[in-house]
Structure 1
Amino acid sequence: MKYPSLKNYINGQFVASNSARTIKVVSPVDGALLSEVTMSSAEDLNDAVEAARIAFHKWSKTPIKERVQVFFRYKFLLEKNLQELATICSEENGKTMSEAIAEIEKCIELTEFATSLPQIVTGEVLEVSKGIECRTEHVPLGVVASIVPFNFPSMVPNWTIPNAIALGNCMILKPSEKVPVSSGRIAELLKEAGLPDGVFNIVHGDIEIVEAICDHPGIEAVSFVGSTKVAKLVYQRATNNYKRCLALGGAKNHLMVMPDAIATMTAQNVVASMSGCAGQRCMAASAMVGVGPIDHIIDKICDEARKVVPGENLGAVINKESKDRIEKYITEAEQQGAKILVDGRGAKVDGKGGGTYVGPTVIDHVTPDMAVAKEEIFGPVISIMRTNTVDEALAIENANPYGNAASVFTQNGGVARYIIERASAGMIGVNVGVPVPREPFSFGGWNESRFGVGDITGKSSIEFWTKLKKSTIKWNPEAGVNWMS
């Protein structure tokens, strides 16, 4: 194994789990054994929650301007260790090094936003009547939990860690058992940055520990990122236990392409969106709806897709099960009458026989009833449907149950505005294939891509990680009496 066996991180120390059940951590790049991780028990979770509960008393009373000093130092450490963190990310997830570096750079941006929170979370004060003032302040919730997926081993944890902790909470992180190495390094850097013991904890595990987190009476809030099927279950279970919950699910993002779109720019954006991170991201384009005559653009999309080479500028998918599932979607679409213009099935990379790769795949003449048009594939596959009007394209986009992202490619501002106003998605792009907002704007979809209120990053996350305390204060009796007093 390249890395030591992974342990839980509780109260500032790596500690063995009470369970004997382990899972091997295998690199999708070449099949190499990276590590093994021990699953956790409810007793392990109790230990983490107790450590966080004790730490919360002091951490929550530390002024926010002092709390964020940890994240100034953490940001520096992310920058200093960028290459190492990117290497771990690439090894355990399978993405290319350039994608892994971009992921760590996004972690730096997320942390930078957290350092600005003292200037944002200022509360309000107003003299509402003579001698009487009302004041609001954001108060931390207590012990919170973050359950994160495999596709971004560092970025998604950093969607929640800096903001939640800077706002005064103490956290339990449950990493994906498929990519647990990055989270351990995050814990080490937070400790090096001066984060007090117990404020941040890691409990490894699978479905059993997720259920225990949802049920634990000492946890006030749960954030989750993963598939819609599991997001629904987590949201239902956590809220049934009277917890605050924000659960982000899957997506089926539609790119609507008009005939007037700039062909080369559109093709580059479409292919980058569908193949970036091997299509394993909830903002990946997986459905394209062409309006009118767009064959010239599809030709360029195919040309661009052929430039994407597994093992060079296209990473691996997470495991063999995912590879088989993705290729099954492609085969089924072909059997149903769709035309495979670029075929990524059976991709192999020399010298990496144990790797799990799917090449870029472009499927034309897809109909809305096909599985590739409706379901989240989570691979480097784009399904092209054809319509005659903008309204027909919007009808297809609106009918999809998800709502993370939608984009339009056009040079017509009126058409762009028409689609922005009518697309049923939380994040919209115009000539942008992956319309992820930059900080301080928040990340979050609609419909079955999100369960709960608010977004997981940016300013919107403040409302999720805090509760509002309101004070009404009167000191001077000489101010007189009216209906307010």
Structure 2
Amino acid sequence: MKYERIRNFINGNFKPVSSARTLIITSPTDGTPLAEMPCSSAADLDEAVKAAKAAFPAWSKTPIKERVQVFFRYKYLLEKNLQELAELVSEENGKTIGEAIAEVEKCIELTEFATSLPQLITGEVLEVSKGVECRTSHVPLGIVAAIVPFNFPAMVPNWTIPNAIALGNCMIIKPSEKVPLSLTIIARLLKEAGLPNGVFNIVNGDSEIVNAICDHPDIEAVSFVGSTKVAKIVYRRATQNLKRCLALGGAKNHLLVLPDARPDMTAANVAASMSGCAGQRCMAASAMIGVGAVDHIVEKICAEAKKIIPGQNLGAVISKESKERIERYITEAESAGAKILVDGRGITVTGKENGTYVGPTVIDYVTPDMAIAKEEVFGPVISILRTNTLDEALIIENASPYGNAASVFTENGGLARYVADNASAGMIGVNVGVPVPREPFSFGGWNESKFGVGDITGKSSIEFWTKLKKSTTKWNPEAGVNWMS
């Protein structure tokens, strides 16, 4: 193995896992075995919870302006170690080094937001009656957990780590069993930044640990990012155990392209949206709805797609199983009557023959009843549906059970506003292929793309990671008494 056996991070130290059951972590880039990962048991989780419980009283009582000093230092260390972390992200996930660098840069932005939290949770105070004051304050929940996916080994953990911990909680994080290595660097950097032992803990494993997290009586809240199928399971199990839960699921994001859209800009955005991170992101465009005469734009999209070369500016998909599943969607669509304009099946990269690559794929004349039009493919594939009117396009978009993102490409401001008002999605783009909000605006979709209240990043996350305390104070009995006091 290229790396030593993976260990949990508990109470400020890397510790061996008690279980003998293991998984092999393999790089999708070239098939290289990277490390052996033992699957933790409930006993390992108990050890992490015990460490977090011991750390919580002191950490939660530390003033937030002192807590965020850790994240000022952590931000500096992310910048200093950007290349090392990006290379590991690329190696274990398969994305290009440029995409991995951008991922770490997003981690830096997320951390920067966390350092601003003292200015955002000052609470409110009001004299509600003569001599009577009401005050609100945000109080940490206690021990919280984050269950994170394979597609962003560094960024998605940092959706939760800086905010949850800066707000006074102690955290247990469960990495994807496909990409557990990047979080080892993050743990090292947090410790170097001065985070007290026990405040941040990593427990590696598979579904057994997910279930144990949802069931553990000392864990107050759970965040999850992954497929909708699993998000529903986690949400139901966690809330059944009376925990807060925010579970983000999959997506089927629609790009509505109107005939007046700028051809070059639209084509470049559509191609980048469907192929970035090999299409393995919940904000990727996977369905384009061409409204009216858009053949000239489709031609340019195909030209842009042909510039995307696997192994060069297109990374690998996560596994052999993913490659087979994506190619099966393409083949089924072709058999159902869709037209393959750019075909990414059967790709092998010279020198990386054991890598798992799917080339950029453009499929035209897809109909709404096809599986590829309805289901999340999670690969570098764009399906093109055709309508005559914008209202017909919105009917297709609204019919999707998902609701992460929708974008419209047009030069008409009125039509853009019409789409923004009527699309059933939590994040809207106008001439933007991947409408991810930047901090301090929060990330979160609608419908079956999210289960729970609030969003996972930005200002909205404050409500999820804290509980509100209300205090009413009266000191002057001479002020008299009325119904308000």
TM-score > 0.5 by shorter chain: yes
Q: Which residue of 2 aligns with 1:364?
A: 364
Give 2:262's aligned residue: 262
State the partner residue of 1:225: 225
Partner of 1:467: 467
Residue number in structure 1 paired with 2:124: 124
**3-state DSSP class of the match of 1:417?**
helix
Q: Distance in 2 between matches of 1:439 and 1:371?
A: 35
Shift, 1:479, TM fit = 1.5
Equivalent-residue separation in structure 2 for 1:346 and 1:82 (angstroms): 34
Q: Secondary structure at the match of 2:61?
A: coil
CA drift at 1:41? 0.3
Q: Secondary structure at the match of 1:60?
A: helix
| 1:97 to 2:97 alignment | yes
Within a 5 Å distance, the mapping from 1:81-96 to structure 2 comes to: 81-96=81-96
Aligned equivalents of 1:63, 1:203: Cα separation in 2: 28
Task: Provide Cα deviations, 1:352-377, integer angstroms capped at 9, x if missing partner.
Answer: 01100000000000000001100000
Q: Could you tell me how far apart the structure 2 residues matched to 1:62 and 1:38 are?
A: 35
Aligned Cα RMSD in Å? 0.4
Which residue of structure 2 lines up, in the alignment, with residue 285 of structure 1?
Answer: 285
The offset of 1:17, in angstroms, is 1.0
- Whole-Å separation in 2 of the counterparts to 1:101 and 1:36: 25
Query: 1:379-436 deviations in whole A, cap 9, x for unaligned?
Result: 0000000000000000000000000000000000000000000000000000000000
Partners of 1:5 and 1:44 in 2: how far apart?
16
- 1:38 matches 2:38: yes
Deviations 1:168-197 (A, max 9, x none): 000000000100000111100000000000
Q: Tell me the residue number matched to 1:442.
A: 442
Tell me the CA shift for residue 254 of structure 1.
0.1
Question: Which amino acid in structure 2 is aligned with residue 213 of structure 1?
Answer: I
**2:421 aligned counterpart, secondary structure:** helix
Secondary structure of 1:384's partner? Answer: strand
* 2:202 equivalent in structure 1: 202
What is the number of equivalent residue pairs in this alignment? Answer: 485
Q: Which residue of 1 aligns with 2:154?
A: 154
Letter in 2 for 1:396: I
Question: Distance in 1 between the 2:112 and 2:338 partners?
Answer: 46
Aligned to 2:5: 5
Equivalent-residue separation in structure 2 for 1:478 and 1:341 (angstroms): 83
Distance 2:185 2:89 in 1: 11
Distance 2:208 2:35 in 1: 21
Residue matched to 2:309: 309
Partner of 1:375 in structure 2?
375
Equivalent in the alignment of 1:134: 134
Q: Provide the rounded CA distance (Å) in 1 between the counterparts of 2:50 and 2:479.
A: 48
Q: Name the counterpart of 1:297.
A: 297
In 1: Cα distance, 2:262 partner to 2:117 partner? 40
What is the CA-CA distance between 1:34 and the residue it aligns to? 1.0
Give deviations 1:76-120, integer Å, cap 9, x for gaps: 000000000000000000000000000000000000000000000
Matched, 1:73 2:79: no
- Show the counterpart of 1:326: 326
Could you tell me how far 1:480 is from its partner in structure 2? 1.7
Q: Counterparts of 2:47 and 2:165 in 1: how far apart (Å)?
A: 19
- 2:35, 2:195 → 1: CA distance? 26
- SS of the residue aligned with 2:146? strand
CA distance in 1, matches of 2:3, 2:98: 22
State the distance in 1 between where 2:2 and 2:267 align. 39
TM-score normalised over the length of structure 1: 1.00
Unaligned runs of 5+ in 2: none
In structure 2, C-alpha distance between the alignment counterparts of 1:229 and 1:40, rounded to whole Å? 23
Secondary structure of the equivalent of 2:383? Answer: strand
Give the Cα–Cα distance (whole angstroms) in 1 for the partners of residues 36 and 133 of structure 2: 57
1:250 alignment partner, SS class: coil
SS in structure 2 of the partner of residue 133 of structure 1: strand
**1:133, distance to aligned residue in structure 2 (A):** 0.4
Q: Which amino acid aligns with 1:458?
A: G
- The within-5 A match list for 1:390-405 is 390-405=390-405
1:155 is displaced (CA, Å) by 0.1
* One-letter code aligned to 1:17: V
Gaps of 5+ in 1: none
Large movers: runs of 4+ above 2 Å = none
